[in-house]
């Protein structure tokens, strides 16, 4: 029986990279009968290993780890745009008392080391976003007992996830907070919501499907399950939870009545993400499509802005239901969502 089908509650706590998915949050979601997910993105392999051990200390329940699949960036095509962007944000950086970050065009996310770490530490679930792992990697993980989840944002990506041998497909709708898991960032498929995706993909595969994007109430969960989802994956609903690692500035921005619009933007990282609109997005909407290079450039600025409490220059990742996020223990949120 799959890990997903054995959950007491059909709620996956979305992996949220950048410090939001703390081991405490992961364990709280799993202890409430859901599936907590660690986020390996941006982490060093050593940091990830320590977090994995920490979660195992905190809970005996199943949990998972999420990896960014590396996507090659075309340096020759993008270098001039990146230089131009770097020059444009120099003034913002000075105003924040910092400088644009150092850029590295290679695999800065340590994919190979993390693949091997997952194989060694064998968490019950490993999930991937931004692409599909090759079949031999999926095979290595399954041999050590991991259940493999792969994110898709459109039908061809769901087909690719099934073809690589994934056990579960995570269907991420356009309402989702944070980065879209699009496999080819230069492709522009028509964005679809999670119910639309479920409807189309359900008829193409028997694999269990997890629905993600804008799910913040028990009613949303019921509708996704009625449409064929084996579980839902929620991120935004947990952002303000007690155990979330969201910074004080991020929390204040999510609560601020002045911020009223949510958009899809690549202004912070070079990859499209769902975020609450602020000044940075308005001024840098044309950032080059160069992830993670743009992310590296803006990181010191976002960090400085967070330290100063400046909500206009941080990335306020959020799904369409951000107004419904609650400041409560994550276990209570999971129980309420499950109804």
Ligand X SMILES: Cc1cc2nc3c(=O)[nH]c(=O)nc-3n(C[C@H](O)[C@H](O)[C@H](O)COP(=O)(O)O)c2cc1C
Residues that bind ligand X (CB under 6 A): 14-17, 20, 39, 41, 66, 129, 151, 172, 175-178, 181, 212-215, 233-237, 317, 319, 321
Q: CB-wise, 86 or 229, nearer to ligand X?
A: 229
Of residues 3 and 14, the one with the C-beta less far from ligand X:
14
For 309: left if phi > 0, alpha if psi spans -120 to 50, otherwise beta; the answer is left
Separation of alpha carbons 275 and 273, rounded Å: 6
CB of 32 to ligand X, least distance (A): 16
Distance CA 110, CA 122 (A): 17
| 60 versus 261: smaller Cβ distance to ligand X | 261
Rounded least distance, CB 121 to ligand X, Å: 18
Q: Residue 215 and residue 232: Cα distance in Å, rounded?
A: 8
Rounded-to-integer distance, Cα 235 and Cα 238, Å: 6
Closest distance to ligand X from the beta carbon of 228 (Å): 18
SS3 92: helix
Q: Which is nearer to ligand X, 79 or 108 (CB)?
A: 108
Is 284 or 315 the residue whose CB approaches ligand X more closely? Answer: 315
Instruction: For the CB of residue 129, give the shortest distance to ligand X in the complex, in Å.
Output: 3
CB of 241 to ligand X, least distance (A): 12
The nearest distance, CB 240 to ligand X, in angstroms, is: 11
| Beta-sheet pairing, 273-276 with 125-129 | unpaired
- The CA distances from residue 205 to 23, 114, 131, 298, in Å, are 33, 29, 19, 40
Q: Which is nearer to ligand X, 27 or 67 (CB)?
A: 67
* Least distance to ligand X, CB of residue 261, Å: 15
Nearest partner of 311 among 96, 21, 94, judged by Cα: 96
Comparing CB distances to ligand X, the nearer of 22 and 129 is: 129
Q: Which residues of 227-239 are buried (b: 16+ CB within 10 A; e: fewer)?
A: bbbbbbbbbbbbb
Q: Which is nearer to ligand X, 25 or 215 (CB)?
A: 215
Nearest distance in Å: CB 99, ligand X:
25
Largest Cα separation within the chain, whole Å, is 56
In the complex, which residue's CB is closest to ligand X?
Answer: 319
Nearest CB to ligand X, comparing residues 13 and 165: 13
Helix axes 75-95, 293-308, angle to 10 degrees: 10
Cα separation, 206 vs 226, in Å, equals: 16
What Å distances lie between residue 203 and 44, 200, 211, CA to CA? Answer: 39, 6, 15
Question: Closest distance between ligand X and the C-beta of residue 309, in Å?
Answer: 18
Distances (CA, A) of 235 to 7, 49, 99, 229: 18, 22, 31, 17
């Amino acid at each position: 029986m799959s890990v997903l089908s054995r959950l007491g509650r059909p709620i996956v706590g979305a992996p949220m990279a950048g410090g939001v998915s703390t081991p405490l949050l992961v364990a709280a979601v799993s202890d409430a009968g859901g599936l907590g997910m660690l986020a390996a993105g941006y982490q060093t392999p050593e940091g990830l290993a320590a977090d994995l051990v920490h979660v195992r200390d905190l809970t005996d329940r199943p949990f998972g780890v999420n990896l960014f699949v590396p996507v090659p960036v075309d340096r020759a095509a993008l270098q001039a745009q990146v230089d131009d962007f770097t020059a444009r944000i120099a003034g913002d950086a000075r105003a924040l008392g910092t400088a644009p970050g150092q850029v590295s065009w290679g695999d800065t996310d340590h994919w190979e080391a993390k693949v091997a770490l997952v194989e060694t530490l064998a968490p019950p679930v490993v999930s991937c976003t931004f692409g599909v792992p090759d079949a031999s990697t999926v095979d290595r993980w399954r041999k050590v007992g991991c259940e493999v989840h792969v994110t898709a944002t459109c039908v061809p990506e769901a087909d690719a996830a099934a073809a690589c041998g994934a056990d579960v497909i995570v269907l991420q709708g356009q309402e989702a907070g944070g980065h879209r898991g699009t496999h080819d960032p230069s492709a522009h498929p028509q964005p679809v919501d999670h119910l639309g995706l479920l409807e189309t993909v359900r008829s193409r595969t028997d694999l269990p499907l997890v629905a993600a994007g804008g799910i913040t109430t028990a009613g949303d969960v019921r509708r996704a399950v009625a449409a064929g989802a084996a579980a839902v994956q929620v991120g935004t609903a947990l952002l303000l939870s007690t155990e979330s690692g969201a910074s004080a500035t991020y929390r204040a921005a999510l609560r601020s009545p002045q911020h009223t619009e949510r958009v899809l933007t690549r202004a912070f990282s070079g990859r499209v993400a769902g975020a609450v609109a602020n000044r940075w997005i308005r001024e840098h909407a044309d950032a080059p499509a160069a992830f993670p290079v743009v992310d590296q450039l803006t990181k010191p600025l976002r960090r400085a802005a967070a330290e100063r409490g400046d909500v206009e220059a941080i990335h306020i990742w959020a799904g369409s239901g951000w107004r419904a996020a609650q400041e409560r223990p994550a276990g209570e949120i999971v129980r309420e969502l499950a109804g």
